[in-house]
């Protein structure tokens, strides 16, 4: 028991970092689900592509273990370009794979999303290969800044960065949804797409925007995880997608605050579980949480139970 | 014939292998077609079921655990064991809606793969990445199957078996039940289909076939590895089913054969293969969701055109709708055989339905007598439809109890309520639009039949008897509506009927459940005055000639006046008046509810 208590602060920090990333992915699922009622299977792939975009930026700006421009600028560029590339992928997928099916049965939409997921994954496999790409972050952070000791816990610079960026992005999103006109239009569309369109909201534009924002956040998560765990490959989207989805369901799918809460809780749960479980079964934690939530409280922690309209 | 010759004319062993594998793919695709095509469930654990079958075979007829059972035992064990796993997974996740089911099954497939990879320590069970190999040869009573040609026969034998089974199950109460669920799950449940059970059966059926295919595959390949049962295989099977068209058996077979042969010609583009599967899914869903075989003109039986008679002469539009046979049962012609009795058949005691603070039905008690026509009136939002949803079991009431013929039915599921003898129609028409008129009516008989999968697959007497009975019953019920729902209209899709005919179809479907009480939710909505008079007479005749008890929601007061024995008026979920039409219509409270209160000072 003693040893677990000693590890606790460290696991909390790890959990919070991981949780922030899950929350960013979960927001993308939740926003799309909130508006279209569809599960975007391809969201994990969007995240993976964000990771690759971040890797390329770092790769192109590094020579002989030295970054060509200031490290802060490189990190900012990595995140911004990852967000832009992922947003583009998300919007293109919406335009060609989901929009033609807006009035089709849900199963068709799900299958199309599955198709997008397979296509993107194998697109990356074909052009980037199956090998793992490593982020050489040694050049980015000066030696002295890499770790900060707080009591028994080690707070690495990257973890601090990930936590800061995720919370900044989530804050910006909240402000946008609550305070701006576009945010109001989004909330209206999520409640009733048809009614919103009758009130003069350009629903197609809102849907594109939702895919754009959700995918951009997923891309940011991809780049951040690359910086944190220093690697990416074509298959990471699958696991990350499932985790993000679990987080979204845990919080209450369709609700972005629920997604944030769910992500952080899932991150903490996983971090605490690895102290008890063999690491090969670490990923099972998320699946078990998912299945239990779906059976016991399918509307999530924050969401509301809705009776089916007859 | 072709199947017998084929193994011998294959140019070499390589092509013979492809031929055999395509048989396996046909089996797998048809199995998935049961789950995803017939029942419309997005089951992403399907390939894990294939794997469970394969590994079950591997463990029971190799030196891995030193168990050597004969194939004739191992094959059914593998299939049944896989089916049990399928049922277990299904029963925990079946309450979930489409997308959630997909994710849970996907997570299950991932856990399965994790187990295959990691169960080589501490005890070596699955062999980890190295898999299991070197199985006992198949031996049927001394008849050994070793040669490639023998395997081709064996596997295609099962593929043909699964094909025949698929056709039979599709044209049975199971097939109709699944189709109804796929079209409109709530309506299916409300018309007597035990949707949870049927979805579980689809899951079990798919798992059974996948398990058997897994065992055959393992034996054929003489080895099993975790990556034989991974995501790419799942994607390929899905592509086959979707290419052929969900639920379309010949299409799925064609899809499976095409996708197992075509890649062999495109070997040099191997890297793009998986990518193109993704594209196939996207493009087909956008452009041809019914698959390559669906609705291709020359492939389907030529339909009789409704606008022409037998000689090919064009009918005039009045002839089309008022055929000479279109004489619905006139009331004047036959004597009334039944009238209201004083026996209470349906009782509601202090029933309340609370939607998060809004009481749609508030402490409502009512009694419905045998062979009575009781109308419920009230302004929009008064709780009339909620009342129907409470009786038919769609919502369980928060407070109160409901009794039917002295037996409590509170909290029963909708299909159990139908089986007890209460069926309903929907205000906003929930027909199974893509099913034929006849099949819509046949679904009503689902709860009166009981043939299981074995009866259906082997056409046992129970199945045949029930099918004949269902057919007779459905035609009899549709016959009540004359030519509007009979003749060539039997085969017409319900969605193509005119609005008024769809309303009639709703009633016919409710009648075909052999219910004693009919709950009719605005049966004359959207009908013109002539049609309204006709449907009013028809509803009256249902009681007078056939003895049904009828609870009716209706807005048209002349309909209510004509047929009601009694009327109750609801407002804000509360019963504000009850009695004869005159009593209710002249009640102060009712007038107030409809027209509002006389002007008075609200703030004094």
Pick A116's closest partner by Cβ from B92, B282, B289. B282
The distance from CA B160 to its chain's CA centroid, rounded to whole angstroms, is 25
CB A28 within 8 A of CB A215: yes
Helix or strand run (H / E) with residue B222: none
CB B259 within 8 A of CB A96: no
Helix or strand run (H / E) with residue B438: helix B437-444
Sort out which chain B residues have CB atoms less than 8 A from A295's CB and list them.
Answer: 92-93, 95-96
Sort out which chain A residues have CB atoms less than 8 A from B286's CB and list them.
Answer: 96-97, 100-101, 112
A175-210: b or e for each residue (b if 16 or more CB lie within 10 Å)?
eebeeeeeeebbebbbeebeebeeeebebeebbbbb
- Quote the Cα angle for A236-A242-A247, to 5°: 125
ipTM score over 0.90, yes or no: no
pLDDT tens for B454-488 read: 999 999 999 999 999 999 999 999 989 887 888 78
pLDDT tens for A101-124 read: 988 888 888 889 999 999 999 999
A226: closest CA among A161, A278, A282, A272? A161
Chain B residues whose C-beta is within 8 A of a chain A C-beta are: 36, 40, 42, 92-93, 95-96, 98-100, 102-104, 106-108, 110-111, 114, 118, 186, 231, 235, 238, 242, 246, 271-272, 274-275, 277-282, 285-286, 289, 355, 385, 389, 394-395, 426
Residues in chain A: 310
Give the per-residue pLDDT at B74: 92
DSSP per-residue letters across B73-102 = HHHHHHHHHHHHHHHHHHHHHTTS-HHHHH
Q: How far is CA B280 from CA A101, A220, B232, B253, in A?
A: 15, 30, 14, 17
Give the per-residue pLDDT at B318: 47
pLDDT band at A212 (very low <50, low <70, confident <90, very high): very high
DSSP per-residue letters across B466-514 = HHHHHHHHHHHHHHTTGGGTSGGGGGSBGGGS-HHHHHHHHHHHHHTTT
Beta-carbon separation of B92 and A119 below 8 A: no
CB A139 within 8 A of CB A71: yes
pLDDT tens for B18-32 read: 999 999 999 999 999
Choose from B271-280, B281-290, B511-520 the range with maximum mean pLDDT: B511-520
Helix or strand run (H / E) with residue A153: strand A153-156
pLDDT tens for B344-389 read: 899 999 999 988 788 899 999 999 999 999 999 998 888 899 999 9
Beta-carbon separation of B355 and A120 below 8 A: no
Give the gap in angstroms from C-alpha A199 to the nearest C-alpha of chain B: 24
Sort out which chain A residues have CB atoms less than 8 A from B553's CB and list them.
Answer: none
pLDDT tens for B149-193 read: 889 999 999 999 999 999 999 999 999 999 999 999 999 999 999
pLDDT tens for B276-315 read: 888 888 998 888 888 887 655 454 555 555 566 666 666 5
Q: Is the peptide bond before B122 cis (omega within 30 degrees of 0)?
A: yes
pLDDT tens for A47-90 read: 999 999 999 999 999 887 788 888 889 999 999 999 999 999 99
Mean residue pLDDT across chain B: 87
Beta-carbon separation of B286 and A298 below 8 A: no
Which of A41, A89, A109, A112 would best serve as a mutation to test chain B binding (most B beta carbons within 10 A)?
A: A112
Give the per-residue pLDDT at B269: 74
Helix or strand run (H / E) with residue B366: strand B358-369
B216-240: b or e for each residue (b if 16 or more CB lie within 10 Å)?
bbbbbbebbbbebbbbebbbbbbbb
Give the per-residue pLDDT at B331: 40
Q: In the predicted model, what is the mean pLDDT of residues B5-12? A: 79
Q: Which domains does chain B have, with CATH numbers?
A: 23-233 (no CATH), 304-333+432-514 (no CATH), 335-421+515-604 (3.40.50.300)
Strand pairing category for B344-355 and B132-133:
unpaired
Structure tokens at A273: 């579980």
In this predicted structure, the answer to whether residue A218 has a pLDDT above a threshold of 70 is: yes
CB B284 within 8 A of CB B243: yes
Beta-carbon separation of A126 and B272 below 8 A: yes
Sort out which chain A residues have CB atoms less than 8 A from B102's CB and list them.
Answer: 39, 41, 110
Q: In the predicted model, what is the mean pLDDT of residues A293-310? A: 70
Q: In the predicted model, what is the mean pLDDT of residues A160-176? A: 92
Give the per-residue pLDDT at B77: 95
The distance from CA A263 to its chain's CA centroid, rounded to whole angstroms, is 9
What whole-number distance in Å separates Cα of residue B599 and Cα of residue B251? Answer: 68
Beta-carbon separation of B282 and A112 below 8 A: yes
Contacts (Cβ under 8 Å, ≥6 apart) of B580: B566, B567
Query: Tokens 């690359």 — which residue?
Result: A226
Chain A residues whose C-beta is within 8 A of a chain B C-beta are: 38-39, 41, 96-97, 100-101, 104-112, 114-123, 125-126, 238, 242, 245, 249, 280-281, 283-284, 287, 290-291, 294-295, 298, 307-308, 310
For B372-426, the three-class secondary structure string (H helix, E strand, C coil) is: CEEEEECCCCCCHHHHHHHHCCCCCCCEEEEEECCEECCCCCHHHHHHHCEEECC
Structure tokens at B419: 């089986």
Q: How far is CA B64 from CA B58, B60, B73, B451, in A?
A: 8, 8, 18, 41
Strand pairing category for B407-408 and B399-404:
antiparallel
CB B6 within 8 A of CB B211: no
Beta-carbon separation of B279 and A38 below 8 A: no
- pTM to 2 decimals? 0.86
Q: CB atoms < 10 A from the CB of B183, how many?
A: 21
For A65-119, the three-class secondary structure string (H helix, E strand, C coil) is: CEECCCHHHHHHHHHHHHHHHHHHHHHHHHHHHHHHHCCCCHHHHHHHHHHHHHH
């Amino acid at each position: 028991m003693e040893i677990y208590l000693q590890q606790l602060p460290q696991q909390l920090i790890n959990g919070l970092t991981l949780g922030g990333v899950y929350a960013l992915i979960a927001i993308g699922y939740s926003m799309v689900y909130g508006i279209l009622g569809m599960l975007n299977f391809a969201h994990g792939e969007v995240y993976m592509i964000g990771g690759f975009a971040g890797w390329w930026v770092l790769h192109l700006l590094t020579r002989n273990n030295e970054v060509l421009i200031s490290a802060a600028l490189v990190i900012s560029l990595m995140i911004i370009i990852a967000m832009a590339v992922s947003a583009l992928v998300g919007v293109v997928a919406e335009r060609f794979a989901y929009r033609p099916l807006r009035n089709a049965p849900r199963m068709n939409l799900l299958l199309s999303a599955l198709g997008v997921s397979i296509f993107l994954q194998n697109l990356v496999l074909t052009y980037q290969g199956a090998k793992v790409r490593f982020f050489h972050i040694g050049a980015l952070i000066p030696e002295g800044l890499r770790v900060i000791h707080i009591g028994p816990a080690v707070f690495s610079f990257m973890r601090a960065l990930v936590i800061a960026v995720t919370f900044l992005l989530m804050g910006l999103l909240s402000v946008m949804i609550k305070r701006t006109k576009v945010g109001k239009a989004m909330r209206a569309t999520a409640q009733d797409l048809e009614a919103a369109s009758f009130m003069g909201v350009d629903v197609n534009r809102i849907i594109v925007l939702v895919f754009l924002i959700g995918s951009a956040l997923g891309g940011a998560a991809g780049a951040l995880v690359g910086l944190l765990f220093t690697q990416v490959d074509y298959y990471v989207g699958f696991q990350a997608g499932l985790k993000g989805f679990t987080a979204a369901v845990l919080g209450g799918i369709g609700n972005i605050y629920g997604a944030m809460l769910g992500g952080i809780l899932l991150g903490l749960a996983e971090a605490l579980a690895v102290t008890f479980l063999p690491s090969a079964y670490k990923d099972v934690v998320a699946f078990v949480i998912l299945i239990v939530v779906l059976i016991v409280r399918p509307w999530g922690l924050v969401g509301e139970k809705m009776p089916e309209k007859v | 014939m072709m199947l017998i010759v084929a193994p011998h004319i294959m140019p070499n062993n390589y092509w013979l292998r492809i031929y055999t594998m395509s048989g396996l793919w046909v089996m797998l695709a048809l199995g998935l077609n049961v789950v995803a095509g017939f029942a419309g469930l997005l089951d992403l654990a399907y390939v894990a079921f294939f794997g469970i079958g394969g590994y079950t075979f591997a463990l029971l007829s190799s030196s891995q655990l030193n168990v050597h059972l004969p194939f004739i035992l191992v094959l059914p064990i593998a299939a049944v064991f896989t089916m049990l796993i399928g049922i277990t997974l299904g029963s925990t996740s079946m309450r979930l809606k489409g997308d959630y089911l997909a994710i849970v099954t996907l997570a299950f497939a991932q856990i399965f793969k994790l187990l295959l990879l990691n169960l080589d320590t501490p005890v070596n069970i699955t062999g980890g990445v190295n898999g299991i190999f070197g199985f006992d040869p198949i031996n049927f009573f001394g008849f050994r199957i070793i040669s490639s040609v023998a395997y081709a026969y064996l596997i295609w034998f099962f593929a043909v078996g699964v094909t025949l089974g698929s056709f039979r199950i599709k044209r049975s109460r199971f097939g109709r039940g699944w189709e109804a669920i796929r079209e409109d799950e709530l309506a299916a449940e409300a018309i007597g289909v035990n949707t949870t059970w049927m979805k579980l059966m689809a899951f079990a059926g798919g798992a059974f076939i996948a398990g058997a295919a897994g065992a055959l595959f393992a034996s054929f390949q003489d080895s099993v590895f975790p990556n034989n049962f991974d995501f790419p295989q799942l994607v390929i099977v899905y592509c086959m089913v979707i290419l052929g068209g969900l639920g379309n058996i010949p299409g799925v077979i064609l899809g499976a054969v095409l996708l197992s042969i075509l890649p062999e010609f495109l070997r040099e583009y191997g890297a793009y293969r998986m990518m193109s599967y993704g594209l196939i899914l996207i493009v087909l869903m956008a452009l041809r969701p019914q698959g390559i075989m669906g609705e291709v003109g020359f492939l389907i039986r030529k339909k009789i055109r409704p606008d022409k008679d037998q000689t090919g002469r064009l009918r005039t539009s009045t002839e089309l709708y008022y055929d000479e046979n279109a004489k619905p049962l006139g009331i004047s012609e036959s004597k009334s055989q039944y009238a209201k009795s004083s026996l209470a058949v349906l009782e509601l005691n202090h029933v309340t339905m609370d939607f998060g603070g809004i009481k749609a039905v508030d402490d409502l008690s009512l009694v419905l007598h045998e062979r009575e026509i009781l109308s419920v009136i009230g302004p929009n939002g008064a709780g009339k439809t909620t009342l129907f949803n409470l009786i038919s079991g769609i919502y369980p009431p928060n407070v109160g109890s409901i009794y039917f013929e002295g037996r409590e039915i509170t909290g029963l599921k909708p299909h159990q309520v139908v089986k007890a003898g209460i069926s309903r129609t929907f205000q906003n028409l929930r027909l199974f639009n893509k099913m034929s008129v006849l099949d819509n009516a046949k679904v009503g008989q689902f709860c009166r039949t009981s043939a299981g999968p074995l009866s259906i697959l082997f056409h046992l007497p129970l199945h045949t008897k029930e099918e004949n009975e269902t057919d007779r019953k459905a035609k009899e019920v549709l016959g009540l509506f004359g030519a509007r729902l009979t003749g060539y209209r039997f085969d017409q899709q319900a969605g193509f009927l005119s609005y008024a005919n769809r309303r009639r179809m709703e009633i016919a479907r409710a009648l075909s459940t052999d219910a004693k009480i009919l709950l009719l939710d605005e049966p004359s909505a959207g009908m013109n005055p002539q049609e309204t008079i006709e449907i009013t007479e028809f509803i009256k005749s249902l009681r007078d000639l056939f003895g049904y008890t009828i609870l009716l929601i209706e807005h048209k007061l002349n309909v209510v006046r004509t047929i009601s024995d009694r009327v109750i008026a609801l407002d804000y979920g509360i019963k504000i008046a009850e009695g004869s039409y005159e009593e209710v219509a002249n009640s102060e409270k009712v007038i107030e509810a409809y027209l509002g209160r006389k002007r008075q000072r609200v703030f004094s």
